[in-house]
Structure 1
Amino acid sequence: MTIGLNKTVVLFGGSGFLGRYVARALARRGHRIRVACRRPDLAYHLQIAGNMGQILPIQANLRYRWSVDRAVEDADHVVNLVGILAESGRQSFDAVQNFGAKAVAEAARGVGAGMTQISAIGADANSESAYARSKAAGEAAVLQTIPEATILRPSIIFGAEDQFFNRFADMSRFSPFLPLIGGGTTRYQPVYVGDVAEAVADTVEGKVPGGRIYELGGPEILSFREMMEEMLRVVGRKRSFINIPYGAASTMARLMRFLPGAPLTEDQVKQLSIDNVVSEEARAEGRTLDAFERMPRTLEAILPSYLVRFRPQGQFTKPKPQAGGLDAENQDGIA
């Protein structure tokens, strides 16, 4: 194993949304990164985030153990970012988030590497959601295999490439209303992707104690409806909300399950009924972003940087007058 800061780090699922930020954070700190994914060509763009040869995309599939073992050869630390929100074919929750996590942990243990597992707030072995149960099973498998491993549970992650705010902002361009499942009362603690990535990098460098489960949430706790209202404020659009009861949403999801790329599944409806915020236990025990000595960034600070393209005239949309009749760009009254 490498001694010192410059480590060889393997990122499973590094070509995804969070993975690209983790790769950049590690590259800035001088580490060597292997991005292990099923389609290495989808990770080629990450090579420019580091110096020549610092970031190397390689092929690996969690369902084929030999490819996992090959990917972690001579590694100092392994980060498992692989996760799915909906099952598809052989990509089931258990195959990817339970047995896949266990395979990565066993491979990391085999070469004496440390490990960071990305889970999610809401992981619960007793949950009605198969997604949440598989996340909890993956956590247990990792800690059983490598007791000093670090588990990170982020709340909903936002950033330029997210599939949450971008999706609803795009919908607001042509739809006169936005759906609120269960009235939109479920609470979330959205956390910026860059803050999560830096936390991952800190675990690689051993800056926080291992063998613990950390819950990562942003500075605000908002309901689903409040997040939609903030998104609409940023994109400068007014839209009505339509309430869809959980029962009706489940029926709709059941009818859509045979459609390719169905926008909603029954399991996701179950997830939407449970608050997704940092627990009181994690706060009391210091298992939050505070442990990383990091000030999390707010939605207000980040959303305008990438949702501006959904405004009626994009970046050229004229700011609306603020209180007192002054434009947002002229709030001090100076012409």
Structure 2
Amino acid sequence: MFVLLNRKIVSKILHVNDPSSGSQLRVVIFGGNSQLAPSLGNLLGYLGAQITFPTRTSAKWIDHLKITVSFKNLAIAHFIDYKDPNIIDRLIANNNVVINLIGANQYLKDEDHIYEGNVTIPKRIAEACARSSEVIRFIHFSAAGADPSSSSSRLRTKWIGEQEVKAACPEVTVIRPTTIFGEGDNFVMRLAFLNRWLGFTPVIGDAKELRQPVHYHDVGLAIVNALKIPESIGKTYELGGPHVYSMKEILEIIYDKIGAPPNIKSYSYNGAHWLYTKVPHAHAFTRHMSLDLVRESKIDIVVGKDALGIDKLFVKPLSFPQNLQRILADYQAKINLTLEEAEHGWSGGNDRHFSP
């Protein structure tokens, strides 16, 4: 049975349970709007899991979520109000696995929103898991580079959220991914479209900050394997791809794959920082950048030297260039569709197809 739970009935019907399913996995994946949710749902659905996707909004990924699991084993709960103190307990009732993918939108300026997404809601989920007599596995998504003293609001609040989650539910398995990329992502697609729209790609400083991109399918495999390994309970894993690149190298790889001449335009860190701290609503006019992304341009986001890596979860990730072909094929298809619509008089712009 496939159910879309709307605003009126969400407080009354929050789970679909099909006893005929052969799987004993009953999973709640918080963060149905996240880019990882469809891929993870697909992997768990292949195992016959019954899955509930709660979302705070009408999920932009809803068409993708619909096909991740057999209809009889899927529920999507819309318009979840996390201010309701009992909502999480009701959502996880009768489930034995809880996965939290919730994270604040990095393009927002509102510090309160970032704190809510990275600290407040994860803490409430952890507390509900600790109260539950049925939940046997809880997986929480943090971020590689999480640090209490970070200049990045995202990385700082991710660290705080980790500590709150661990304090509430010590059995949690914490996943710290580096930069996740994949089809329709906010990383490769954003950079490719910026070059398409502007004729160049803007960067902060010399673009020497290091990244270790990991494909979301490899991250999903790592989560599934973590659920199979009891030894992962209470541990923290940092997931990254097999290679580390500077942002400049990443851009050069993308340019090469799309057949565009490399054209990188550098802006000073101080100038960009001033823009986002002193000019009201600057982020509204530069939707592909934010103060947090400016700050992270000075931070290397890679797997820590002594961290438990993706190999400890028996995943051998593909390299960044190996995964690019399919992603950029999607990019080219969107470009072709936009050009076709422009030829026929549609004037809505590229945002119809791409929303970073």
* TM-score bin, normalised by smaller chain: 0.7 to 0.9
Q: Secondary structure at the match of 2:95?
A: coil
The structural deviation recorded for 1:139 is 0.6
Contact 1:202 1:208 in 2 (8 A): no
**Counterpart residue number, 2:216:** 193
Deviation track 1:104-159 (CA, whole Å, cap 9, x = no partner) reads 10111121312100111111112122221110111111111111110001010010
- Aligned counterpart in structure 1 of residue 39 of structure 2, from 9, 21, 30: 21
Amino acid at match of 1:276: I
The structural deviation recorded for 1:208 is 4.6
Q: Which runs of 5+ in 2 are unaligned?
A: 1-18, 337-356
For residues 165 and 129 of structure 2, the distance between their equivalents in structure 1, rounded to whole angstroms, comes to 10
Contact 1:232 1:239 in 2 (8 A): yes
- Aligned counterpart in structure 2 of residue 265 of structure 1, from 290, 296, 299: 290
**Counterpart residue number, 1:69:** 89
- Aligned counterpart in structure 1 of residue 56 of structure 2, from 38, 41, 45: 38
Contact 1:176 1:239 in 2 (8 A): no
**Counterpart residue number, 1:56:** 75
Calculate the TM-score normalised by the size of structure 2. 0.80
Aligned residues: 309
Q: Which runs of 5+ in 1 are unaligned?
A: 316-335
**Counterpart residue number, 2:120:** 99
Contact 2:51 2:69 in 1 (8 A): no
Question: Identical aligned pairs, as a percentage?
Answer: 27
Deviation track 1:40-69 (CA, whole Å, cap 9, x = no partner) reads 554542122222321210132434332222
Q: Secondary structure at the match of 1:171?
A: helix
**Counterpart residue number, 1:80:** 100
The structural deviation recorded for 1:217 is 0.4
Q: Secondary structure at the match of 1:183?
A: coil
For residues 203 and 156 of structure 2, the distance between their equivalents in structure 1, rounded to whole angstroms, comes to 25
Contact 2:33 2:59 in 1 (8 A): no
When the two chains are superposed, the root-mean-square deviation of aligned CA atoms in Å is 2.4
For residues 96 and 6 of structure 1, the distance between their equivalents in structure 2, rounded to whole angstroms, comes to 30
Contact 1:172 1:178 in 2 (8 A): yes
Q: Secondary structure at the match of 1:211?
A: coil
The structural deviation recorded for 1:313 is 11
Q: Secondary structure at the match of 1:123?
A: coil
Amino acid at match of 2:296: Q
Calculate the TM-score normalised by the size of structure 1. 0.85
Amino acid at match of 2:75: L
**Counterpart residue number, 2:175:** 152
The structural deviation recorded for 1:258 is 4.6
Q: Secondary structure at the match of 2:138?
A: strand
**Counterpart residue number, 1:209:** 232
